[in-house]
Structure 1
Amino acid sequence: MQKWLSSYFNFSKREYNGLLAMVILIVLIRAIPVGYSFFFPEQADPEAERLVINKLILMKSERENAVRQQKLTTPAFQSVLFNFDPNLIDTDDWQRLGLSAKQAGVMARYKKKGGRYFKKEDLQKMYVISPEMYERLIPYISIDLEKEQKLQQPKPEYPAKRYPGQPKFVFIPLNSADTLQLMEVSGVGPAFARRIFNYRQRLGGFYKKEQLLEVYGLDSLKYAEIKDQLSLDDQALIRINLNTALFDDLKNHPYLKYKQVNAIIQFRKQHGNYGNIADLRKVAILSAETIEKLAPYISF
């Protein structure tokens, strides 16, 4: 081989040996990885495989959640801007203005709980109304409090007409009836009878029928069904003397919270007895609304 190459290419022995060494080196370089993998096969790492699988599962879950969230926040109605009063519109109207079904539900629940908007800026307090959405809606907002008050005013009550042979309608005295008597009211079962009775005990009596709406689970529909069957009897409300009352005398009243009861007693200790309702207004933690609701149940 050496003689043939030397005669054909006119190689010297030294050049031949150099060429041979280069060929051997190239073969070794290419053969080393193959040989290494043959004699030292790569070991599988179960922990690494588990982490990779978990990562893929997490990525899939995040994609599904993103799609689900997009469905919840995507308005079901085509967005249309129109003049509206936020105190009067319903869930469908909010969706037409560009809110999703979930966001419109938040607005409806706020209204159902008695939430009101007295000026345009009040709409910014709702976390589902983004600054961008507020800027879009503000030119179309029109709040008419007088109109809202007229709509909320109860319709005048007229005595039910009686026909010959019709039995006389019996009223149940709201402040003195026991649970059995309350169950005689059409629409009041054992559960509502117990709730009305227990709430009356905590309250000290009802001074207006609308207070029934404060009973757990008794909504406006149920109130409309039963109010005409109840009468406010002359039984006096149970009053609490604020100048002699202890913490336990006040803690169960539904219109007072723990901190408010404590504040009433501490104020009396520091400043002396209460003389009238105006003194109660000096207790900083009591709002005007709370004092107004509490007034029929306290004495001095």
Structure 2
Amino acid sequence: MPDQQASKKKQQNHQKEPFQPDTLFAFNPNDLPIQKWRQLGLPDHIILNIKSYEEQGGYFKTKEDVADIYGMKQKVFAELAPYIQLDNKKKKDQDKRHKKKRSRTKKTAKVDVNNADSLDLLNVKGIGPFYARMILQERRKLGGFVNKEQIKQIYGMQKKYRDDSLTIYQNIQDRLFVGPAQPKQIDINAATVDRLADHPYIDYNLAENIVNYRKQHGPYDSLADVNQLYLVNDDLSRKLEPYLQLP
């Protein structure tokens, strides 16, 4: 229920985001940098849709193509339309080269996965809308990353990158880093079974095991007590340690 409410609230916030351009200027929408879209007043959720469209091979050939972007309001498009400039004479050459050009717009600066938003991640070469969402979802579920190996475990990261011999993770790992951040921690002397089971490293059986031990033996005196549970091995103990706390 909380996740549904948060999702609904997020959608409502998207709908309320005002169109407030810093300045309006002539622009070609193809491969336009994220910061330029922001200067034009577009909210991030529409920019994400634009970048997703481009990532899938989409290309703006007419002004109406911009109007067709999901979430683009007619009023906003009407404001932008006079400033859209498409070079029809070079359209054929651009059609052939736009994928290569798009890859060049990706930034080479490293991105902190604990503070990045979806648009920051989309600026990383090798990360499209799908993996940007997966990284953010995993960060939310974990309560924050403590090392890059956690990104490697995200669904799909071990797949080969296109025709490359490297995996998705191997292609992006040098462009990401985990900045210093205290992950959200769970109070094991107060958390319910459902709260514990919501964490990616704790299944329902272990959550029940943690709570039942607490009921039988009283509050945990130290995090080391968790290691005594029969469902916790050394590897799991190491993974859980940053995410558990005592009051």
Give the TM-score, by structure 1 length: 0.43
Aligned with 1:250: secondary structure? helix
Q: Is residue 180 from structure 1 mapped to residue 119 from structure 2 by the alignment?
A: yes
**Any gaps of 5 or more consecutive residues in structure 1?**
1-167
Shift of 1:288: 2.2
**Any gaps of 5 or more consecutive residues in structure 2?**
1-106, 159-165
Shift of 1:277: 2.5
Cα distance in structure 2, aligned partners of 1:223 and 1:240: 28
> How many pairs were matched up?
133
For residue 211 of structure 1, what is the aligned residue in structure 2? Answer: 150
Note the 1:11-90 alignment, pairs <5 A.
none
Q: Is residue 257 from structure 1 mapped to residue 186 from structure 2 by the alignment?
A: no
For residue 296 of structure 1, what is the aligned residue in structure 2? Answer: 242
**What does the per-residue CA deviation read over 1:177-220, in whole Å, with 9 as the maximum and x for residues that have no partner?**
11111111100000000011001111111111111111001116
AA in 1 matched with 2:154: V
Q: Which of 288-297 and 182-191 deviates more? A: 288-297
* Pick aligned residue for 1:170 from 109, 114, 125: 109
Cα distance in structure 1, aligned partners of 2:241 and 2:116: 24
Q: Is residue 190 from structure 1 mapped to residue 161 from structure 2 by the alignment?
A: no
Note the 1:133-148 alignment, pairs <5 A.
none
Shift of 1:246: 1.3
For residue 141 of structure 2, what is the aligned residue in structure 1? Answer: 202
Cα distance in structure 2, aligned partners of 1:278 and 1:253: 19
Q: Is the 8 A contact 2:141 2:200 kept in 1?
A: yes
Shift of 1:262: 0.5
For residue 248 of structure 1, what is the aligned residue in structure 2? Answer: 194
* Pick aligned residue for 2:229 from 258, 283, 293: 283
For residue 222 of structure 1, what is the aligned residue in structure 2? Answer: 168
For residue 128 of structure 1, what is the aligned residue in structure 2? Answer: none
Q: Is the 8 A contact 2:108 2:124 kept in 1?
A: no
Aligned with 1:216: secondary structure? coil
Q: Is the 8 A contact 2:135 2:154 kept in 1?
A: yes
Cα distance in structure 2, aligned partners of 1:288 and 1:210: 17
Shift of 1:228: 1.2
For residue 273 of structure 1, what is the aligned residue in structure 2? Answer: 219
After the TM superposition, which segments of 4 or more aligned residues of structure 1 sit over 3 Å from their partners? Answer: none
Cα distance in structure 1, aligned partners of 2:209 and 2:147: 28
Percent sequence identity over matched residues?
A: 37
Structure number with the bigger relative contact order (C-alpha 8 A, sep ≥ 6) is 2
Cα distance in structure 2, aligned partners of 1:180 and 1:222: 18
**What does the per-residue CA deviation read over 1:155-174, in whole Å, with 9 as the maximum and x for residues that have no partner?**
xxxxxxxxxxxxx9422111
